[in-house]
Each structure stands twice: as structure tokens, then as C-alpha cells.
């Protein structure tokens, strides 16, 4: 049979559509595999919620879909995954397949993927609420963040890597959040020439105390009305309400660990 130009074009388009569907199915299968591996690993943890609960995972773009993660600490199969969102209103984590892959490979941790200076800032990973779900008090620090951290952090014990290759730009520097809990936030930071932590004065104070532990390099800090040298081996206690900004002109940069604690942290 001889096809005219239009027939060849139709055949070619149909062929491409078939390849696209096959690729999409393979990508979705890979997303399911990663989620199932995370669920299997999480089931081995001793940090499961005391009561059964369900939450959703939404993968956007290629390889995308929606899944329900069910956690029941007394069931024979403690953590299960099925297609679709929970039947009852709940919360869900949303990201694309590339972000999920980075988390599973340890390039980013859960908090790094979701890190942002303000809740309105975009991030590769986000938390959203299903219609009708009313979050309880302290839902973010007591439920969502600990659950997300432990579910999306493979390994027993859980291992986090920090460094520039594992960071994202947050608050003006390369950041790797390490662990959050009620009244506690910890992170690793590195600033290089041209960067400034808390450049925006609106971000330069916290309503809680902060400990800055400088581990490598040299830089400069504005602490309240004082400008001071920052260097390896120095620790600073920054009380609530004190302005703090950090920058460096050193080629090696300045690295530090930040511990924020107290009510509101």
C-alpha cells in the first residue's frame, strides 16, 4: 500500500504517540517503585505514628500520578501504597518525579526539597491539604514535617548528606535543612562571595533564639549594631529579635550550622 504525504504523517504521529504512552507508563512505574521502596524502608522504622493515618503523594509531570500512603502500626503490613488519594480528607506532598528521584538517591533530603524562606516561595516539594481537611494545632511541626522527614529519608539509621551538591539556595545561601521538630530547626549553610544570608531586612530577625556554629572559612556578620569577623571555631548565640546577616568575600566561602530553638521555632 502506498501512503501519500498525509498518510505518512499520520503513521508517524501515531507511532510517536505510542512511544510517548509507553515512556509515560515506564516513568510512572518507576515513580511507584520509588514510593514502594520508601514505604518498605519506613515500615522498618520505630518512628511510626501511634495511630493509623493516611496521606497522599502527588507526582506531577512525566511519571506522575496520585497515591495514598496508609500507615497502621498494628497491621500485619504496616505501610501500604495504593493508587488515588485517601478516601477521607487528609494532606498530601506534591513534587515531580525528578525531585522524588533526588530524594531517593540522597542528593536532597525531604526538608531541602521543601525549603523556602517564606511559605509563599516556590519549592520543588510542597505540602497541600485536601478539601475538607482541617489540620489540628501544631500540625506542621508535630505531624507533617516529622512524618515527611522519616518517610522520605531511607535507611536505618537515617543518613543525611550535606554540602553544596546537596543544597538549594534558601535565605540567600546554599542550605541543607537537617531536622525540624516542635521548637527546633537545624540546618547547614554555605555562603560564597556575592551571597548574603538575610539580605532582606524583613528576614533578618527571628522571634526565637539562634545558635550559629562556624565550621569552615571566613566571613563577616552583622549582629545587631555590630559588624564582626566570622571564622572557623566560632559560635554565636543570637537572641530573639536581634538582626543577623552573614556574607563573605573569601573565595573558600563560609560554612556554618544553624540551630534555632524555642517557642515559634
Q: pLDDT digit string (tens) for 143-184? A: 999 999 999 998 888 999 999 999 999 999 999 999 999 999
Judge residue 168's burial from the number of C-beta atoms within 10 Å of its C-beta, 0-12 exposed, 13-18 middle, 19 or more buried.
middle
- Span 36-151 CATH architecture: 2-Layer Sandwich (3.30)
pLDDT category, 11, cuts 50, 70, 90?
very low
Q: Which residues pair with 88 in a beta bridge?
A: none
CA atoms 124, 57, 65, 32: torsion sign:
positive
Close Cβ partners of 150 (under 8 Å, ≥ 6 residues apart): 42, 45, 47, 158
CATH assignment, 164-261: 2.60.120.10
Q: Give the rounded percent of residues in the chain with a pLDDT score beyond 70.
A: 91
Mean pLDDT calculated for residue range 2-16: 38
| Residue 155, pLDDT score | 86
**pLDDT, the chain, mean:** 90
Kindly state the average pLDDT of the residues 74-96. Answer: 97
The whole-number average pLDDT for the span 210-236 is 98
Judge contact between 149 and 93, C-beta under 8 A. Answer: no
Asked if residue 4 has pLDDT above 80, the reply is no
Mean pLDDT, rounded, for 114-139: 94
Write the pLDDT tens digit of every residue in 46-64. Answer: 789 999 999 999 999 999 9
Instruction: Kindly list the domain boundaries of the chain, sorted by start residue.
Output: 36-151, 164-261
C-alpha atoms less than 13 angstroms from C-alpha of 54 in its C-beta half-sphere: 18
Region 120-126: mean pLDDT is 94
Q: Which residue has the higher pLDDT, 137 or 13?
A: 137
pLDDT band at 2 (very low <50, low <70, confident <90, very high): very low
pLDDT computed for residue 224 by the predictor: 96
In three-state secondary structure terms, 200 is: coil
Amino acid at each position: 500500500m502506498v501512503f501519500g504525504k498525509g498518510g505518512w504523517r499520520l503513521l508517524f504521529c501515531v507511532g510517536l504517540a505510542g512511544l510517548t504512552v509507553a515512556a509515560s507508563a515506564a516513568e510512572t512505574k518507576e515513580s511507584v517503585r520509588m514510593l514502594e521502596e520508601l514505604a518498605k524502608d519506613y515500615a522498618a522504622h520505630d518512628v511510626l505514628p501511634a495511630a493509623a493515618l493516611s496521606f497522599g503523594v502527588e507526582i506531577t509531570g512525566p511519571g506522575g500520578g496520585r497515591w495514598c500512603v496508609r500507615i497502621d502500626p498494628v497491621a500485619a503490613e504496616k505501610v501500604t501504597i495504593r493508587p488515588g488519594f485517601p478516601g477521607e480528607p487528609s494532606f498530601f506532598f506534591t513534587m515531580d518525579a525528578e525531585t522524588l528521584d533526588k530524594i531517593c538517591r540522597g542528593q536532597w533530603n525531604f526538608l531541602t526539597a521543601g525549603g523556602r524562606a517564606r511559605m509563599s516561595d516556590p519549592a520543588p516539594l510542597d505540602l497541600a491539604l485536601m478539601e475538607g481537611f482541617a489540620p489540628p494545632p501544631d500540625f506542621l511541626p508535630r505531624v507533617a514535617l516529622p512524618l515527611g522527614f522519616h518517610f522520605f529519608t531511607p535507611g536505618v539509621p537515617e543518613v543525611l548528606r550535606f554540602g553544596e551538591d546537596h543544597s538549594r539556595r534558601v535565605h540567600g545561601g546554599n542550605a541543607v535543612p537537617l531536622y525540624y521538630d516542635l521548637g527546633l530547626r537545624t540546618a547547614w549553610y554555605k555562603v560564597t562571595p556575592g551571597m548574603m544570608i538575610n539580605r532582606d531586612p524583613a528576614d533578618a530577625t527571628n522571634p526565637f533564639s539562634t545558635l550559629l556554629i562556624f565550621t569552615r572559612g571566613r566571613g563577616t556578620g552583622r549582629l545587631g549594631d555590630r559588624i564582626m569577623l566570622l571564622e572557623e571555631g566560632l559560635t554565636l548565640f543570637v537572641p530573639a529579635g536581634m538582626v543577623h546577616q552573614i556574607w563573605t568575600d573569601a573565595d573558600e566561602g563560609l560554612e556554618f550550622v544553624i540551630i534555632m530553638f524555642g517557642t515559634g521555632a
